[in-house]
């Protein structure tokens, strides 16, 4: 996958500020177009506007409701000052936040998100973003940056969570251009060998080797700890700069709504996570 068109979901909150710094880092590395998307529902104030109100009152309410939108765009452009003007774009779109971000994400090579703001004030819920839900709904790769990210995506070590399934294969393919920039890529499986179930004549290590990616294979022991904790702790232990994994749904109910590895990783990871579904 060639990275030439990057979307970042930006709402001006701390999580999206971190995501934007990561998106700018990616834009500078790839020379890509960078589009900021401010997706928002109707804030409380604008919902109070009634048809019978005088036009001056309606205009005043709209001005107050719209002022944060301009503030968010101003913050976005200030952070993106190093991005060439002809490569920088801005979209303001109302409606369901998760659905809006997911629909736009389908048109981009990769979407950059911040971690979910778990302690978000109630009056800001109309701009809240759930990265795992966007991943499930978009059908495109997303990269989630943790709070206070100050590192780099490139030239270090990436960990790929591998179980041989469809989602893991999709994530591996979507991450290939980034993986080529890493000094080392480690394929890890929990409670099984990464080569378990490999087809005759080909395996995941060979695929990466053919892309000139230096790869190692690691089996992590299964324990009483969750798979999410096992992966996060392993990434810390080996000094990884990126985790690549498939996003999974194990029931008719979205895993992102009921918990699970995908949801937990999206909340707990301390390095950027590239997910695909």
Cβ proximity of 126 and 257 under 8 Å: no
d(CA 81, CA 76): 9
Q: What pLDDT shows up at residue 212?
A: 94
Write down the pLDDT at residue 67: 52
Answer for the pair 143, 154: CB distance below 8 angstroms, yes or no.
no
DSSP letter at 112 equals E
Q: Which of 1, 76, 72 is nearest to 35 (CA)?
A: 76
How far separated are the first and last CA of the chain, in Å rounded?
A: 15
157-276 shares the fold of 5-145: yes
Residue with tokens 């997303």: 142
CATH number at 157-276:
3.40.50.620
- Looking at residue 82, its pLDDT comes to 98
Task: Say what the pLDDT of residue 116 is.
Answer: 74
Residue-range domain boundaries for the chain: 5-145, 157-276
The C-alpha atoms of residue 99 and residue 104 are separated, in whole angstroms, by: 9
Measured CA to CA in angstroms, residue 42 lies from 120, 123, 153, 161 at distances of 16, 11, 35, 38
Show the beta-strand stretches assigned E in 124-214.
Answer: 142-145, 157-161, 184-190
pTM listed for this prediction: 0.84
Regions of the chain with pLDDT less than 70: 1, 42-67, 117-126, 249-259
Cβ within 8 Å of residue 82, ≥6 positions away: 24, 28
pLDDT of residue 102: 94
Distance (Å) of CA 217 to CA 108, 191, 194, 200, 209: 31, 13, 6, 18, 12
pLDDT given for residue 46 in this prediction: 46
Q: Give the architecture (CATH level 2) of 5-145.
A: 3-Layer(aba) Sandwich (3.40)
Contacts of 70 (CB under 8 A, 6+ apart): none
């Amino acid at each position: 996958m060639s990275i030439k068109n990057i979307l970042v979901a930006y709402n001006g909150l701390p999580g999206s500020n971190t995501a934007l710094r990561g998106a700018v880092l990616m834009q500078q590395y790839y020379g890509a177009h960078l589009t900021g998307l401010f997706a928002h529902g109707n804030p409380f104030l604008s919902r109070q506007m009634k048809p019978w109100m005088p036009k001056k009152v309606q205009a005043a309410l709209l001005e107050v409701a719209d002022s944060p939108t301009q503030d968010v765009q101003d913050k976005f452009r200030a952070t993106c000052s190093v991005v060439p003007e002809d490569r920088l774009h801005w979209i303001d779109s109302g409606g369901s936040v998760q659905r809006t971000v997911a629909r736009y994400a389908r048109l981009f090579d990769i979407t950059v998100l911040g971690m979910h703001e778990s302690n978000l004030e109630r009056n800001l819920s109309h701009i809240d973003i759930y990265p795992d839900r966007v991943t499930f709904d978009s059908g495109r790769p997303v990269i989630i940056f943790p709070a206070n990210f100050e590192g780099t995506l490139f030239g270090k070590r990436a960990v790929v969570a591998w179980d041989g399934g469809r989602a893991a294969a999709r994530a591996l393919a979507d991450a290939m251009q980034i993986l080529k920039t890493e000094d080392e890529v480690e394929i890890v499986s929990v409670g099984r060998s990464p080569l378990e179930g490999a087809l005759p004549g080909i395996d995941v290590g060979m695929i990466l080797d053919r892309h000139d990616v230096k790869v190692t294979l690691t089996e992590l022991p299964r324990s009483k700890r969750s798979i999410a904790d096992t992966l996060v702790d392993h990434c810390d232990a080996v000094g990884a700069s990126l985790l690549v994994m498939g996003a999974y749904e194990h029931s008719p109910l979205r895993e992102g709504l009921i918990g699970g590895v995908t949801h937990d990783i999206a909340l707990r990871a301390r390095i950027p996570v590239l997910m695909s579904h």
